[in-house]
């Protein structure tokens, strides 16, 4: 009996009120218990009213006590759900919005103006020597000698040679000579030649400059092979 009372005292108040309400209702309905409890009509009525009130209040108290626990349980479940949901990316890891693509129009390459063509030198005409040197030694005996050029575009004829004006604006040709018994005669190739003459003409302002290189490939009259350079300066005395 003592253990029962101890458990009863330790029980929640709502449970005690419910049990008490049920007890008073039992008294109101049954009326008496083993000759120990024998209420009258008014006692039974009061027991019924009191039992209903105690039962109702006990149920209300029990529900009120369970509500916070239910809310706390739901709150824990919500926290678990929130914890399991993926967190939004922080500002450090947030994907940067794609920048709008700007279409740039590249201007078409403008055609470069063509480089001006170098005018073709005009060799045509008759030219007369006004001064000359051989190995930088003046040659006065050459003064007054003349040479004539015919020209058609970049083609030039001089000394019976048809020549093409080079990119440097000059005309040039070679002649080959062999030496036999103190006399010279012309040969066809440089390999056969003992003397190679290289003639070059170019215009310098209003003057014509003729440069001739005499390359002696073999000893002549006891002299070792050598090279002479003759430079003649002409002025135009007649056009073609």
Confidence of residue 165 (pLDDT cuts 50, 70, 90): very high
Sequence-distant (6+) residues with CB within 8 A of 55 are 17, 18, 21, 22, 25
CA distance 147 to 238: 11
pLDDT band at 171 (very low <50, low <70, confident <90, very high): very high
- Whether the per-residue pLDDT at 150 is higher than 90: the answer is yes
pLDDT at site 56: 84
Q: Which of 8-17, 27-36, 139-148 reaches the highest mean pLDDT?
A: 139-148
C-alpha pair distances (Å), 113 with each of 106, 116, 117, 197: 20, 9, 12, 42
Instruction: Please give the residue that has the higher pLDDT: either 84 or 234.
Output: 234
3-state SS of 141-189 is HHCCCEEEEEEECCEEEECCEEEECCCCCEEEEEEEEEEECCEEEEECC
| pLDDT bracket for residue 226 (50, 70, 90) | very high
For residue range 66-125, what is the model confidence (pLDDT) as tens digits?
Answer: 666 666 656 555 555 545 555 555 554 556 666 667 677 666 677 777 767 789 999 999
- DSSP letter string over 84-119? HSPPPP-TTTSPPPPPPPPP--PPPPPPPPPPPPPP
Of 18-27, 55-64, 77-86, least confident by mean pLDDT is: 77-86
Q: What is the pLDDT of residue 4?
A: 47
Has domain 125-238 been given CATH number 2.40.128?
yes
Using DSSP, state whether 75 is helix, strand or coil.
helix
Beta carbons of 198 and 172 less than 8 angstroms apart = yes
pLDDT at 221 over 70: yes
């Amino acid at each position: 009996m003592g253990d029962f009372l101890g458990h009863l005292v330790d029980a929640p108040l709502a449970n005690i009120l419910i049990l008490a309400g049920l007890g008073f209702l039992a008294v109101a309905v049954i009326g008496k218990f083993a000759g120990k409890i024998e209420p009258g009509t008014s006692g039974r009525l009061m027991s019924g009213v009191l039992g209903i009130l105690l039962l109702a209040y006990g149920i209300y108290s029990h529900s009120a006590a369970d509500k916070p626990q239910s809310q706390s349980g739901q709150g824990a479940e919500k926290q678990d759900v929130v914890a399991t949901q993926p967190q939004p990316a922080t500002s450090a890891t947030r994907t940067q919005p794609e920048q709008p693509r700007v279409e740039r129009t590249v201007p078409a390459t403008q055609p470069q103006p063509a480089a001006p063509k170098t005018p073709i030198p005009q060799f045509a005409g008759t030219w007369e020597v006004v001064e000359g040197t051989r190995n930088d030694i003046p040659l006065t005996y050459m003064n007054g000698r003349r040479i004539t050029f015919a020209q058609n575009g970049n083609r030039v004829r001089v000394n019976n040679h048809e020549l093409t004006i080079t990119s440097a604006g000059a005309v040039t040709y070679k002649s080959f000579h062999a030496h036999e018994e103190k006399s010279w005669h012309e040969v066809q190739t440089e390999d056969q030649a003992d003397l190679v003459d290289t003639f070059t003409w170019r215009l310098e302002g209003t003057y014509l400059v003729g440069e001739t290189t005499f390359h002696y490939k073999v000893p002549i009259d006891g002299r070792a092979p050598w090279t002479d350079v003759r430079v003649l300066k002409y002025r135009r005395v007649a056009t073609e």
